[in-house]
């Protein structure tokens, strides 16, 4: 059951988690030990202060003075029994000139550590309270696990990003290799077919058959040319987008059911953009065929081409089955298809052609089950 998850990468991840977890627990243990030592250090410092204050002039106060001087890293504020500030030590010397700053520090110290209380008189009650903060060392140890977790998280994000980029690069290589191999495989039978067409053209009786075969051969050459351009830098040149779309609509009409209507709308019959004509035709063909498949043999496909600033927007709208939000989120993923037949590569290839080769955008503008779908292409206009 767990065997598929037990691999070298999983083992490394588990070791990393164990190391980080162990470090966190050990850091917490150290911070507690240092906190106890600092409280004891403050207690000794208070005792030394009191000893020096009460000692007769002939008494040896060397040890008490050393203890008093050794506290140069733990901030302390001491008050009377009513929390009125008497004095402080190891605060910022410039900021401590402000009484407001010292009061804020006192409030902060109260939240962090319980005070050490020295009772001077029980009746009436008189006492000194010593509030203190953590030393810089203790703060660093307490914050260390958080910093470590942040560094580990950033490292994991970088690794995940690197793996994702590498996987995408591998996918691109697979796409390109598959496309070029397909073009190569199509090339041999196409050459042979072209030869047979020329032979058939020599005979009067077979000339009509040859003409039909020539159309199919031309179509196959176009497909081969499209696949051959996948994976290499396409040659982009100015093309009339309206003319390209019109030609593709004319082709699709020949294979579309009679009850399907096509409506091309544009305010300008001469909208130009830099595209690779064979690849752009492939995108339009795929989108129109998808619209046909969604319509069950009847309805209208509306194509609207418009200009906005430096961009060309092309909408292909059908009044077919439509899609749910879940389907829309997956529609451009390789291998995903809602059809009984097909590899689920058409829309993925279309998106790759538009966005990677033409630096444009292809997305579902809107879709609703039972009301149809609109795909939008955006390209830079010349």
In a domain, 149, yes or no: no
Does the structure show a pLDDT above 50 at 2? no
Does the structure show a pLDDT above 80 at 201? no
> 228, 250, 269: which is the final residue of a domain?
228
Whole-number Å distance between alpha carbons of 367 and 265:
20
Q: Are strands 116-122 and 85-89 parallel, antiparallel or unpaired?
A: unpaired
Q: What is the pLDDT of residue 287?
A: 94
* pLDDT classification of 137: cutoffs 50, 70, 90: confident
CATH code assigned at 327: 3.30.565.10
* pLDDT classification of 379: cutoffs 50, 70, 90: very high
* pLDDT classification of 356: cutoffs 50, 70, 90: confident
95 versus 375: the higher-pLDDT residue is 375
Question: Do 208 and 238 sit in the same domain of this protein?
Answer: no
Residues, the chain? 382
Does the structure show a pLDDT above 90 at 124? no
Question: Do 210 and 304 sit in the same domain of this protein?
Answer: no
Question: Do 238 and 375 sit in the same domain of this protein?
Answer: yes
Question: Do 350 and 245 sit in the same domain of this protein?
Answer: yes
pLDDT in tens, 264-274: 999 999 999 99
User: How many domains does the chain divide into?
Assistant: 3
Question: Do 42 and 56 sit in the same domain of this protein?
Answer: yes
98 versus 245: the higher-pLDDT residue is 245
In a domain, 46, yes or no: yes
* pLDDT classification of 142: cutoffs 50, 70, 90: confident
Q: What is the mean pLDDT of the chain?
A: 82
Average pLDDT over residues 309-331: 91
Q: Are 61 and 52 in contact (CB under 8 A)?
A: yes
Percentage of the chain with pLDDT > 70?
Answer: 84
Question: Do 371 and 239 sit in the same domain of this protein?
Answer: yes
Does the structure show a pLDDT above 70 at 341? no
Question: Do 248 and 221 sit in the same domain of this protein?
Answer: no
What residues make up the domain containing 167? Answer: 154-228
The contacts found for 37-41 with CB under 8 angstroms, 24 or more apart, are 38/74, 38/132, 38/134, 38/135, 38/138, 39/113, 39/116, 39/132, 41/70, 41/71, 41/74
Q: What is the pLDDT of residue 45?
A: 87
Place of tokens 């110290």: 109
In a domain, 281, yes or no: yes
> 185, 213, 228: which is the final residue of a domain?
228
Average pLDDT over residues 67-85: 87
pLDDT in tens, 16-35: 778 878 888 888 888 889 88
CB-hemisphere CA count at 13 Å for 353? 28
Question: Do 353 and 246 sit in the same domain of this protein?
Answer: yes
Nearest Cα to Cα of residue 330 among 356, 301, 314, 351: 351
Q: What is the pLDDT of residue 213?
A: 72
CA-to-CA dists, residue 146 to 27, 237, 306, angstroms:
10, 55, 54
């Amino acid at each position: 059951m767990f065997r598929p998850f037990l691999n070298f990468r999983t083992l490394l991840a588990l070791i990393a988690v164990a190391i980080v977890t162990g470090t966190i627990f050990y850091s917490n243990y150290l911070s507690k030990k240092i906190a106890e030592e600092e409280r004891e250090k403050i207690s000794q410092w208070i005792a030394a202060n009191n000893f020096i204050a009460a000692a007769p002039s002939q008494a040896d106060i060397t040890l008490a003075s050393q203890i008093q001087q050794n506290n140069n890293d733990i901030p302390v504020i001491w008050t009377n029994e009513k929390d009125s500030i008497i004095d402080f030590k190891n605060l910022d010397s410039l900021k401590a000139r402000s009484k407001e700053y010292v009061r804020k520090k006192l409030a902060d110290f109260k939240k962090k550590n319980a005070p050490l209380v020295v009772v001077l008189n029980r009746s009436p009650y008189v006492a000194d309270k010593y509030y203190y903060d953590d030393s810089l060392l203790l703060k660093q140890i307490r914050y260390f696990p958080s910093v470590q977790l942040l560094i580990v998280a950033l490292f994991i994000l970088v690794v995940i990003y690197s793996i994702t980029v590498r996987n995408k690069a591998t996918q691109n290589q697979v796409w390109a290799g598959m496309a070029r191999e397909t073009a190569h495989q199509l090339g041999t039978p196409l050459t042979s077919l072209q030869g047979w067409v020329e032979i058939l053209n020599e005979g009067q009786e077979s000339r009509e058959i040859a003409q039909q075969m020539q159309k199919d051969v031309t179509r196959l050459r176009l497909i081969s040319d499209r696949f051959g351009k996948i994976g290499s830098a396409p040659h982009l040149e100015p093309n009339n987008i309206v003319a390209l779309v019109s030609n593709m609509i004319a082709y699709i009409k020949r294979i579309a059911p009679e009850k399907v209507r096509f409506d091309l709308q544009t305010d300008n019959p001469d909208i130009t953009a830099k595209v690779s004509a064979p690849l752009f035709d492939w995108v339009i063909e795929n989108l129109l065929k998808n619209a046909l498949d969604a319509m069950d043999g009847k309805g209208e496909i509306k194509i609207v081409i418009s200009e906005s600033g430096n961009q060309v927007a092309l909408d292909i709208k059908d009044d077919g089955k439509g899609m749910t939000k879940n389907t829309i989120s997956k529609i451009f993923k390789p291998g995903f298809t809602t059809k009984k037949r097909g590899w689920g590569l058409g829309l993925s290839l279309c998106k790759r052609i538009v966005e990677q080769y033409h630096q444009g955008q292809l997305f579902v503008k809107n879709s609703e089950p039972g009301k149809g779908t609109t795909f939008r292409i955006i390209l830079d206009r010349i």
